[in-house]
C-alpha cells in the first residue's frame, strides 16, 4: 500500500501526526514552516436576500458586509476564523493558534450596542488547555450549546484529541460554562478526535481522521445518553477503509442524516479522488446508523469531500483540487430514485479559476455558498465566496448569483476558508487577516 500520509508527496496529502492544519487548509501549516494565514472572519448579512422578495423571481440579490469581527484580546498567529459557526443571534469563531496553540473560541452576539450590531460576548477556552492542543480548530453552535474540537490534545495519547461542550447559563446568567468533555471510545495517539464537529439539536458528530490506523472514523453522540450528558451511540467508518483516507476530515449533521468527507479516498476514479458518505438513522435496523450512499469524486486527486454540508434533501460537497481550481457538487436526496442522492449541479468559480474553490461549503433550501480562500480579487489572492441560487437561470436550475470579497482585503487573508449559514445570515472566515498583528484573524 502506498504511503498516503507523506507531506512531501503533494499538497493535501499530509502526515496527520505532524501537520493537522493541512487537513482542511492545505497551505496553512505553522508546524511545517509553510506559509500560514492568521486572519479575520467577516460577517456577511444576507437579510436583504430573504426579505427583498427577489428569491426565485430573478430579482436583484443584495449582499452587504455588516460587521468585521475581531477578538478583543487577539494577537498575531491566532488564526481567528479558521472555523466558524452561527446559530440565531450567536456566532462563534475558532482561534486555534491563540496562546501558542492552546487555542480559544470567541462568541459574538447580535444586537449588542445597537440593532443588528455584533459584538464580542465571551472568550471561551479550555481551563486545562496546553500549548499545541489547538482548541477551536473546529466549532459548532446549536441553540445554547457550543461544541469545540481540540484535535491535538494529548490527554489520551499524543494528538489523540478531545471535544469540549459548553452551554449558556452554566455558572451564571449568560455565562458559557463547561458541560462536559467528550472522548471517543478506544481513543489513542494520533486519532485527532475533534478535527471536525457538527451539532444539530441533540445529535453530535465528531471526526477523528487519524483513527483506524489513519483511515479515519466519526463518532456520534446523543444528548442525555450515558453519564456525560452526551453519550456515544455509534462509531462510523468507511466500508473499505484505507490508511490516509482522512474519513472524518469533514462532517455535517441534519436531522437523522450524517455526511462524512473522506478527501483522500481511493476509488475507481483514481487515487485521492475522494468520497463523501451519507449515513442514516435506522438504516439497517431500529437505532442503527447505516450507510445510505457513497458519493465519489470525478478524477484522481480531486480531494472530493474536503468540505461537506447538508440541509434537508440537499448535500453539497467541495473538491478543492478538481479541474485544478476546485469544484463543488450539489446532490439531491431523491435524484436517481428514492434515496439516490444523485448529482443535480456542478458548481464552479470564475472563468479564470478560483484556487481552493470548495474549501468550505454551506447550503440551505434556496442558497449554496462556496468558499475559495485563494481566489483573486483586484489582482490579489484575498479569497472569495461564491453564491448560487435555486431557480437562478431557469426553474430548478442552481445558477450563479454573486461573488463576495472582503472590503480592504490583502494577499493571504484566506477569506472563504470557513463558512456557516443560518437562515438569512452567513459567517465567513478569513483566518489570514492581520487586524491585530500578522495572521491574528477576524470575523
- Supply the mean pLDDT for the chain: 83
pLDDT of residue 56: 35
Note the pLDDT tens digit of each residue in 66-104.
456 655 665 677 889 999 999 999 999 999 999 999 999
Find the distance separating the first CA and the last CA of the chain, reported in whole Å. Answer: 42
Residue 57 above 80 pLDDT? no
Among 41, 20, 45, which residue's Cα sits nearest to residue 94? 41
Rounded Cα distance, 149 and 179, in Å: 14
Residue 109 above 70 pLDDT? yes
Q: Answer for the pair 54, 61: CB distance below 8 angstroms, yes or no.
A: yes
- pLDDT exceeding 90 applies to what percent of the chain? 66
Rounded Cα distance, 8 and 14, in Å: 8
pLDDT of residue 440: 40
User: pTM for the full model?
Assistant: 0.86
Residue 147 above 60 pLDDT? yes
What integer is the mean pLDDT of 51-75?
A: 46
What integer is the mean pLDDT of 381-403?
A: 94
pLDDT of residue 196: 99
pLDDT of residue 77: 76
- Predicted confidence band of residue 228 (pLDDT cuts 50, 70, 90): low
DSSP state of 23: G
Residue 62 above 70 pLDDT? no
Note the pLDDT tens digit of each residue in 2-37.
333 222 222 222 233 333 333 344 433 333 332 333
Q: Which domains does the chain have, with CATH numbers?
A: 20-442 (2.130.10.130)
Listed range (28-32, 67-71, 235-239, 242-246) with the worst mean pLDDT: 28-32
What integer is the mean pLDDT of 113-131?
A: 88
Residues whose CB falls within 8 Å of the CB of residue 227, separated by 6 or more in sequence, listed in order: none
For CA atoms 257, 262, 263, 268, the dihedral sign is: negative
pLDDT of residue 71: 59
Residues whose CB falls within 8 Å of the CB of residue 296, separated by 6 or more in sequence, listed in order: 265, 267, 268, 269, 273, 274, 275, 304
- Predicted confidence band of residue 393 (pLDDT cuts 50, 70, 90): very high
Residue 60 above 80 pLDDT? no
Query: Which of the pair, 403 or 46, is modelled with greater confidence?
Result: 403
Amino acid at each position: 500500500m502506498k504511503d498516503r500520509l507523506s507531506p512531501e508527496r503533494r499538497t493535501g496529502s499530509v502526515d496527520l501526526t505532524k501537520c493537522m492544519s493541512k487537513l482542511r487548509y492545505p497551505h496553512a501549516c505553522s508546524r511545517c514552516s509553510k506559509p500560514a494565514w492568521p486572519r479575520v472572519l467577516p460577517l456577511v448579512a444576507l437579510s436583504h436576500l430573504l426579505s427583498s422578495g427577489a428569491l426565485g423571481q430573478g430579482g436583484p440579490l443584495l449582499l452587504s458586509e455588516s460587521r468585521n469581527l475581531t477578538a478583543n484580546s487577539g494577537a498575531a498567529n491566532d488564526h481567528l476564523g479558521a472555523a466558524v459557526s452561527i446559530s440565531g443571534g450567536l456566532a462563534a469563531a475558532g482561534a486555534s493558534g491563540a496562546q501558542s496553540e492552546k487555542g480559544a473560541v470567541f462568541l459574538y452576539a447580535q444586537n449588542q450596542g445597537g440593532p443588528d450590531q455584533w459584538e464580542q460576548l465571551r472568550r471561551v477556552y479550555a481551563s486545562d488547555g496546553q500549548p499545541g492542543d489547538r482548541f477551536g480548530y473546529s466549532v459548532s453552535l446549536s441553540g445554547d450549546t457550543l461544541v469545540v474540537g481540540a484535535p491535538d490534545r494529548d490527554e489520551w495519547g499524543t494528538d489523540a484529541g478531545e471535544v469540549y461542550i459548553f452551554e449558556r447559563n452554566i455558572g451564571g446568567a449568560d455565562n458559557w460554562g463547561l458541560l462536559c468533555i467528550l472522548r471517543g471510545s478506544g481513543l489513542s495517539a494520533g486519532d485527532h478526535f475533534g478535527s471536525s464537529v457538527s451539532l444539530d439539536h441533540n445529535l453530535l458528530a465528531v471526526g477523528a481522521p487519524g483513527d483506524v490506523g489513519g483511515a479515519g472514523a466519526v463518532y456520534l453522540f446523543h444528548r442525555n445518553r450515558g453519564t456525560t450528558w452526551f453519550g456515544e451511540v455509534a462509531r462510523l467508518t468507511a466500508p473499505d477503509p484505507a490508511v490516509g483516507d482522512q474519513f472524518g476530515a469533514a462532517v455535517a449533521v441534519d436531522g437523522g442524516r450524517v455526511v462524512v468527507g473522506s478527501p483522500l479516498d481511493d476509488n475507481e476514479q483514481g487515487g485521492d479522488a475522494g468520497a463523501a458518505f451519507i449515513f442514516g438513522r435506522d438504516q439497517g435496523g431500529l437505532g442503527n446508523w447505516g450507510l445510505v450512499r457513497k458519493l465519489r469524486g470525478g478524477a484522481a486527486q480531486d480531494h472530493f469531500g474536503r468540505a461537506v454540508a447538508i440541509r434537508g434533501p440537499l448535500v453539497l460537497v467541495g473538491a478543492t483540487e478538481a479541474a485544478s481550481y476546485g469544484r463543488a457538487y450539489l446532490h439531491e436526496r431523491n435524484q436517481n430514485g428514492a434515496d439516490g442522492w444523485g448529482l443535480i449541479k456542478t458548481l464552479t468559480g470564475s472563468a479564470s479559476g478560483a484556487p481552493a474553490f470548495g474549501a468550505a461549503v454551506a447550503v440551505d433550501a434556496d442558497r449554496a455558498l462556496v468558499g475559495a480562500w485563494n481566489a483573486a480579487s483586484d489582482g490579489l489572492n484575498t479569497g472569495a465566496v461564491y453564491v448560487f441560487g435555486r431557480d437562478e437561470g431557469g426553474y430548478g436550475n442552481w445558477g450563479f448569483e454573486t461573488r463576495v470579497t472582503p472590503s480592504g482585503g490583502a494577499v493571504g487573508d484566506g477569506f472563504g476558508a470557513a463558512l456557516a449559514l443560518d437562515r438569512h445570515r452567513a459567517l465567513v472566515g478569513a483566518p489570514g487577516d492581520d487586524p491585530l498583528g500578522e495572521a491574528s484573524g477576524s470575523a
